[in-house]
Structure 1
Amino acid sequence: MTKITKRTVDAAFPRDKEFFVWDQALKGFGFRVYPSGRKVYLTQFRADGRLRRVNIGVHGTVTAEIARTEAMRVLSEVRLGENPASHRDRLKASPTVMAFSKRFLEEHVAVHCKASTYGEYERSIELFINPKLGSLRMTDVRRSDVVGFHQSMKSIPYQANRSLGVLSVMFTTAYTWGDLEEPLNPCWKVKRFKERKRERYLSPAELARLGKVLMEAHSEPEAANCIRLLLLTGCRLGEIQSLKWEYVDCEAGLLRLPDSKTGAKIIPIGAAVFDVLDSIERQAGNPFVITGRVKGQKLTDMQKPWRRLRARAGLDDVRIHDLRHSFASDALQLGQDLPMIGKLLGHTQVQTTARYAHLKTDAISAAANQVSAAIASSLLGNPDQSEGMEQTLD
């Protein structure tokens, strides 16, 4: 044993087998000499009844003085009852983002989320998260990595924000499961991209064009009926695609859905909906209202048929979900209040309904014209118009 300095480390020549040199002043501090000539500083201690070693650094990269200081820190932790080797082992055992994402989907998302949510999470992970961050260990992901990942998707801001949200849930789950020691989520305070909210609704003229196209859609009647039901009920696409005949309560005028995005819910429907349902021929052995090509199954793909139908109607910018927006907006213009519209749409909070139920441009323009005309009449000294405006405001 000798005092470890740069001179003593340089003077240690390699042998056929690796060997250790220990410091005479600081018990547990030493370095290992490999046959290749590589020399590594380390500390040795006993913890949990076992002899453990923790490497500090390679000689040349780390000086003897720095190694001694680090050894003193590690040995102090041991005296306080901690086990630095255990912490190192956990870091080495930390899964990669790709490996953890597989377990995350199987044990968290599949158990706690709906099938549609699982599909969204899986898509974000496989197409965006794993290609960028999959090779990194969960413990090695830093906020700078997350910021870089998010910024790389600036051309698709909606998907960037969704993928960032999925990644954040992954890290929260990893901490809950004990795969991460630090509670700090690297996604925390990463600024999301601004999202422009869509306000697309169908005008009466557009509805008329779409209705004509649906009447002429003889080659794909299932898709046409699906669109009709979406327009007349305000339901989500998945709710109509998964609608079974047993969910239709003709006597009460309701759709009794056992499951939806917000759980089980009841949807009131009007006579026009029953007219569509009555026109649909039931298939023996198929419980679904909107049937698919596979025997006994539902229609699973509505995006391609919808693109064809909307193109014929000249509505290329209309998404399927915009039909739900139109239902809410039409209800508002017909005098229904937000709580009632929320019940029709199956919302649990009025704030959610308010996002859908915007006034259409025509109605806003008409209101603005009425108010400005009344004020203009008052400015010209027309008392009759002024009284009419007061009565309207009252």
Structure 2
Amino acid sequence: MKAKLTSRTIKDLAPAEKAYEVVDTDVKGFLLRVQPTGRMTYYYAYRTASGSKKRIKIGSHGTQVTAQQARDLATRYAGQVAEGKDIQEEKQSSRKAARAASEKTLKRFTENHYRPWAQTNLKSSDSTIQSVYASFPDLLDTPMADISVAWIERWRVQRLKDGNKPATLNRLVNALRSILTKAVEWETIEEHPLRKLKALHVDSAPKVRYLNSDEEERLYRALEERDMKLKEARARANEHRAIRGYELMSDLFRFTYGDRLTPLVTLSLKTGMRRGELFDLTWENVDLDTKVITVTAETAKSRRTRHIPLGPTALKVLTAWKQQAPLQAGRVFPADDGGRLDNVNTAWRNLLKAADIFNFRWHDMRHDFASKLVMKGVPLNTVRELCGHSGLDTTLRYAHLAPDHKAEAVALIG
């Protein structure tokens, strides 16, 4: 059937028992297919330079295109065919290119390729990836090759205005960089889009926070008072339960500590272990006879095993804690349900408040450990080994604390 395909002629078409086609009389190859359901679809049929017959879908009448819009597209296709182009092949190639490009977006690459690798090879990979997602939500659906230095510069300017510290922004950008680096290494993209981006300037010798003698005394006193309050609260609870005939809980006065917090804090201060390393520590890696804790490569941030000698205080604390600690899963500090401990944030904040200590994070106990070793004259490389620093540069932040080393040097010239 032939007719000029206009809105008026199409309006008069009725569906038949079988599908049929109406070929336009003006534009060669332009046609409308009418389905028994009444659905009408425009196509453009043509022959390639090699003589093959092909057709390309233009769109559904009414819902996607009008008769005039379909005619305009068919006319454009006719011109391209006259130039020797295979429009169907080009359209398929464009679709393939679009699909390939979508696989190169930041989130697709991260989920399909980077995350599986990172979970096997990097410590805290999931939290690092989550920090990238939270910090750069506008980049997740962007092709990695289109991520620009200018965009990151604008992002950093705004974040600095919001009060973020340069070191924090450098850390977040480095997490993003690491994903893009793997994309280049695995030939997903040709070159690193942030290769010319310079890090924000950060003081190479930042102030190190550690406890002075008064703060340390207040901290330990607050821990003792806290343990006593926990024991007294447990005793009152058991009196209450006994009156009502309930099963009694363990009498904490039989033990040294009220709960895990005092051993955790003391070990942090006396071994310099990271919080995650303490949460992962098992009794298998605590040797009370040789007085050594082993931090295994699987739980260490540096992915290298290190051994930490136990001083008298740390040894005393661990010995006492082992007598009362739950032994689920062999962890030294298991969670209440026996699994891995998640955090002690509330207890830590309340402790600092009770001790009247300010601007002191849990991680600062690690700085306290390293600082006091250096102040006692321990060589920096030994401090590096005990703390598990990957390089000496990190340890050098404590160099200024070494006793009189600068004064002695200046004294040499009178």
TM over 0.5: yes
Report the counterpart of residue 191 of structure 2 in structure 1: 184
C-alpha distance in 1, partners of 2:84/2:336?
69
Q: Which of 236, 247, 250 is residue 285 of structure 2 equivalent to?
A: 247
1:315 aligns with 2:357: yes
1:229 aligns with 2:267: yes
1:35 aligns with 2:70: yes
Report the counterpart of residue 207 of structure 1 in structure 2: 216
C-alpha distance in 2, partners of 1:44/1:168?
45
Report the counterpart of residue 141 of structure 2 in structure 1: 135
- Please tell me the residue identity of whatever aligns with 2:263: N
Question: Pairwise mapping of residues 75-114 of structure 1 onto structure 2 (< 5 A)?
Answer: 88=97, 92-114=101-123
CA deviation after TM superposition for structure 1 residue 345, in Å: 2.0
1:285 aligns with 2:293: no
CA contact (8 A) 2:170 2:200 kept: yes
Question: Pairwise mapping of residues 371-382 of structure 1 onto structure 2 (< 5 A)?
Answer: none
CA contact (8 A) 1:290 1:299 kept: yes
C-alpha distance in 2, partners of 1:52/1:312?
74
C-alpha distance in 1, partners of 2:141/2:95?
23
Report the counterpart of residue 165 of structure 1 in structure 2: 174
CA deviation after TM superposition for structure 1 residue 315, in Å: 1.9
Tell me, which stretches of 5 or more residues in structure 2 are unaligned? Answer: 1-25, 32-41, 50-57, 59-67, 231-257
C-alpha distance in 1, partners of 2:84/2:180?
33
Q: How many residues align?
A: 319
C-alpha distance in 2, partners of 1:159/1:347?
19
* Pair 20,286 (structure 1): closer, same or farther in 2 beyond 3 Å: closer
Question: Deviations for 1:80-114, whole angstroms, at most 9, x for unmatched residues?
Answer: xxxx9799467545443232232245322112212
CA deviation after TM superposition for structure 1 residue 231, in Å: 0.5
SS of 2:308 mapped into structure 1: strand
CA contact (8 A) 2:293 2:308 kept: yes
C-alpha distance in 1, partners of 2:277/2:215?
24
* Pair 225,44 (structure 1): closer, same or farther in 2 beyond 3 Å: farther
- Please tell me the residue identity of whatever aligns with 1:293: D
Question: Deviations for 1:36-55, whole angstroms, at most 9, x for unmatched residues?
Answer: 41436757569xxxx84379
**RMSD value over aligned CA atoms?**
3.8
C-alpha distance in 1, partners of 2:334/2:399?
31
CA deviation after TM superposition for structure 1 residue 339, in Å: 2.1
C-alpha distance in 1, partners of 2:406/2:98?
69
C-alpha distance in 2, partners of 1:52/1:146?
38
Q: Name which structure has the greater RCO, CA cutoff 8 Å, separation 6+.
A: 2
SS of 1:170 mapped into structure 2: helix
SS of 1:266 mapped into structure 2: strand
- Please tell me the residue identity of whatever aligns with 1:234: G
1:274 aligns with 2:315: yes
C-alpha distance in 1, partners of 2:122/2:381?
27
Question: Deviations for 1:99-146, whole angstroms, at most 9, x for unmatched residues?
Answer: 2232245322112212x2431222322x122x2212323343333333
Tell me, which stretches of 5 or more residues in structure 1 are unaligned? Answer: 1-10, 25-31, 56-83, 373-388
CA deviation after TM superposition for structure 1 residue 14, in Å: 9.9
Report the counterpart of residue 301 of structure 2 in structure 1: 261
C-alpha distance in 1, partners of 2:101/2:313?
63
Q: Which of 339, 345, 361 is residue 381 of structure 2 equivalent to?
A: 339
* Pair 216,193 (structure 1): closer, same or farther in 2 beyond 3 Å: same
CA contact (8 A) 2:102 2:108 kept: no
CA contact (8 A) 2:274 2:363 kept: yes
C-alpha distance in 1, partners of 2:399/2:334?
31
TM-score, normalised with respect to structure 2: 0.65
CA deviation after TM superposition for structure 1 residue 327, in Å: 1.3
CA contact (8 A) 1:243 1:290 kept: yes
